[in-house]
Amino acid sequence: MPGLILAGDPVPDVALHPGVDLFVRTVDAYRAIAVSPLGRALTRPRPVRRTGFDQDLVVHDLRLEAEGVISLTLRAPDWSTLPFWRPGAHLDVFLPSGRQRQYSLCGDPDDPTRYRIAVRRIEDGGGGSREVHDDITVGDQLTVRGPRNAFRIAPASGYLFVAGGIGITPILPMVRTAHRQGVPWRLIYTARSRASMPFLDELARYRSGEVVVLPDDEHGIPDVAALVDGVAEGHATYLCGPPQMAAAAHRALAARGGRSELHTERFSARPVVDGTEFTARLARTGTSVTVAADETLLAAVRRARPDVTYSCQQGFCGTCKVAVLSGDVDHRDTTLLDSQRPDSMLVCVSRGTGELVLDL
């Protein structure tokens, strides 16, 4: 598993086919000119810069949408137009405490000046949702990043939407889109109890499709496989709910075979489980970082080395591989070969006990 190759990596000196060798020499000559004063004279850099991924927005409105769920409507201080988004998009919200949380946009994509998000209070979570519920009021300023879409809706001849609990938030604008386009749709909306389900009133306005509300306390725990198996031939399924729900739906449709589309949101890195604090010494940087029990080694390393390479953050793409000079590694990746494990690790998921010394 070689991962990526850097321009400074050694190039093996092996004979090439004469024609290939000629091409290499031609590009060598080109390079000599390209990085010479003549090359500079022929090249005018014109870097293109973009702004506005991060924005400071004002909390315009706060509403209690259901038991434990509030919605926040955000706008620019001067009511200027916000970046366009499609159903499925989300925002990063930087909370006053410094916490960064992602929330799906659940307002109207055709409203150019306002974004709406909804937040369920999770008492035993990381504290982000409690902060939103307890500390944020109308008129506050919040920094947001995005919108970004990891669950983009594509045209289809019909839709089955499945929402589990607060998973209704990206689905709601999808329902609105299907309704406006006059495409057949059906929504299955599950949650603990009816009182905890936001937006039932808004959904009631979309009469072109069917909304099936299945609170657990009235209908029992839903059988996800049976729900998605009922999708009409040629219709696309968009599902947002807990990770187990999405995985069950993927298994059910894979078992069924065929070509029906199943779209689920692509989430970022999963939270660290069973982590303990340890330290990592970055030998080449000459510094040490402390890795908290609930953060990844990658996150800690990035505080000292912001440009370290990584990608999937789930231990499979191999791009964050780092040589380990000493220490005991708790390997949690799925890609390194056993022969690589004694002296290298993937810093996005794997951890250490005590002190690790890394070649960074």
Partner 1 sequence: MSRTTRSKPQPYVEEAHTIKPRNVSFQWEEVPLHYIPDEPLATQFWNVMHLVIPIGERLMAGALSEALPFIADERLREEAIGFIGQETMHADSHEGYHEHLAAHGIDVEPVVRNASLMLQKILSDHGLKGRAKKEWLAERLAFYAAAEHFTAVVGQWLLDAEGLDEAQMHPMMLDLLRWHGAEEVEHRDVLFDVFQHVDGSYARRARWALLASAGLLGTWLVSLNHLMAQDPSRRWWKPWPLQIAGAVRRGLVPSLTIFATEIPVYLKPGFHPSSMGTLDSAIRYLATSPAARAAEQGA
Site track for partner 1 across 268-307, x = CB under 8 A = ---------------------------------------x
Considering only 95, 211, 214, 312, the residue that binds partner 1 (CB under 8 A) is: 312
User: Residue type at 358?
Assistant: L
Site track for partner 1 across 4-33, x = CB under 8 A = xxxxxx-xx-x-xx-xx--xx--xx-xx--
Looking at the Cβ atoms of 121 and 250, the one nearer to partner 1 is 250
Map the footprint of partner 1 across residues 46-105, applying CB under 8 A.
46-54, 81, 83-86, 89
CA-wise closest residue to 278 among 261, 256, 301: 301
Map the footprint of partner 1 across residues 216-275, applying CB under 8 A.
236, 243-244, 246-247, 250-251, 253-254, 259-264, 266-267
Q: Does 323 sit near partner 1 (CB under 8 A)? A: no
With beta carbons less than 8 A apart as the criterion, state whether 275 and 265 touch.
no
Map the footprint of partner 1 across residues 171-210, applying CB under 8 A.
none
CB of 211 to partner 1, least distance (A): 23
Residues that bind partner 1 (rule: CB under 8 A) add up to a total of 83
Give the interface segment with partner 1, choosing from 59-67, 71-79, 196-204, 311-319 (CB under 8 A). Answer: 311-319
DSSP for 163-211, please give it.
Answer: EEGGGHHHHHHHHHHHHHHT--EEEEEEES-GGG-TTHHHHTT-TTSEE
Distance CA 309, CA 120 (A): 34
CB proximity list for 47: less than 8 A, separation 6 or greater = none
In what order do the strands lie in the sheet containing 236-240?
210-215, 185-191, 159-164, 236-240, 262-264
For 201, phi and psi rounded to 5 degrees?
-65, -45
CB of 185 to partner 1, least distance (A): 16
CB of 153 to partner 1, least distance (A): 8
CB of 224 to partner 1, least distance (A): 13
CA-wise closest residue to 344 among 90, 101, 329: 329
CA-wise closest residue to 350 among 300, 283, 287: 300
Considering only 69, 70, 93, 317, the residue that binds partner 1 (CB under 8 A) is: 317
Looking at the Cβ atoms of 79 and 267, the one nearer to partner 1 is 267
Considering only 29, 123, 137, 155, the residue that binds partner 1 (CB under 8 A) is: 155
With beta carbons less than 8 A apart as the criterion, state whether 161 and 87 touch.
no
Considering only 145, 179, 194, 331, the residue that binds partner 1 (CB under 8 A) is: 145
With beta carbons less than 8 A apart as the criterion, state whether 231 and 260 touch.
yes
Structure tokens at 287: 């510094």
Looking at the Cβ atoms of 43 and 287, the one nearer to partner 1 is 43
Distance CA 229, CA 238 (A): 13
Looking at the Cβ atoms of 7 and 273, the one nearer to partner 1 is 7
Map the footprint of partner 1 across residues 338-357, applying CB under 8 A.
none
Question: Hey, which residues does 355 pair with through a beta bridge?
Answer: 279
Considering only 179, 316, 327, 330, the residue that binds partner 1 (CB under 8 A) is: 316
Looking at the Cβ atoms of 89 and 324, the one nearer to partner 1 is 89
CB of 210 to partner 1, least distance (A): 22
Site track for partner 1 across 100-139, x = CB under 8 A = ----------------------------------------
With beta carbons less than 8 A apart as the criterion, state whether 146 and 91 touch.
yes
With beta carbons less than 8 A apart as the criterion, state whether 280 and 288 touch.
yes
